[in-house]
Amino acid sequence: MSSRTNPLAALVEPEPVSVDLTVNGKRLRIAVEPRTTLLDALREMVSLTGTKKSCDRGECGACTVHVNGRRVLSCMTLAAMQEGKRITTIEGLQEQGRLHPLQAAFMEHDGLQCGFCTSGQIMSGVAMIEEAKAGWPSAATADVTRPFAPAELSKAEIRERMSGNLCRCACYPNIVDAIADAAGRG
């Protein structure tokens, strides 16, 4: 697709489309323009502002949510493509008022300063621990041919697996400690 495409085409707004999805356990039907990202839909239409919009280009990880249990970047996902999907945001991690163990670990280890990246860090960390439990290797794994055991989730492994979440306050040591702690308890 070249940028020579007629710019007037942009003036014709496509019709909103209706999407059924589950957000934090609640079934919702929303009407979105096709170009609406999942991030904008969550923040502006579902009023869940815990998911943060930062780079909007898939470069920082602040908008990380879970789709069907997997961590993804909601800024690079179209809401209209989430028909029937199960979305979890930072607001959906707690159970009956009790923080998720990784949320508690972030508080305990002081894994934040300004807090803007924190919901993305935690959503990413929760899913990352599950990936390690499922035996997924990473670029820090010396021998990818062997099954990966969760006990091998060293700080170097955590740093590599969390590299998609930037923290401009540079709380990385405390973030890694919090995740190591929660992974060890889990």
Q: Which of residues 5-44 bind other proteins (CB under 8 A)?
A: 5, 7, 9-10, 12-15, 17, 33-35, 37
Question: In whole angstroms, how far apart are CA 21 and each of 71, 78, 97, 98?
Answer: 17, 13, 24, 25
SS3 45: helix
45 touches other proteins by CB under 8 A? no
Nearer to other proteins, 3 or 47 (CB): 3
The sign of the torsion formed by the CA atoms of 39, 44, 46, 51 equals positive
Q: Does 134 bind other proteins (CB under 8 A)?
A: yes
Nearest approach in angstroms of CB 97 to other proteins is 28
Token code pair at residue 125: 């960390």
Which range of residues in 58-66, 89-97, 106-114, 172-180 is near other proteins by CB under 8 A?
58-66
Residue 177 structure tokens: 């400690």
- Judged by the rule CB under 8 A, the positions of this chain that interact with other proteins are 1-5, 7, 9-10, 12-15, 17, 33-35, 37, 56-58, 61, 64, 70-73, 76-78, 80-81, 124, 127-128, 131, 134-139, 141, 144-145, 159-165
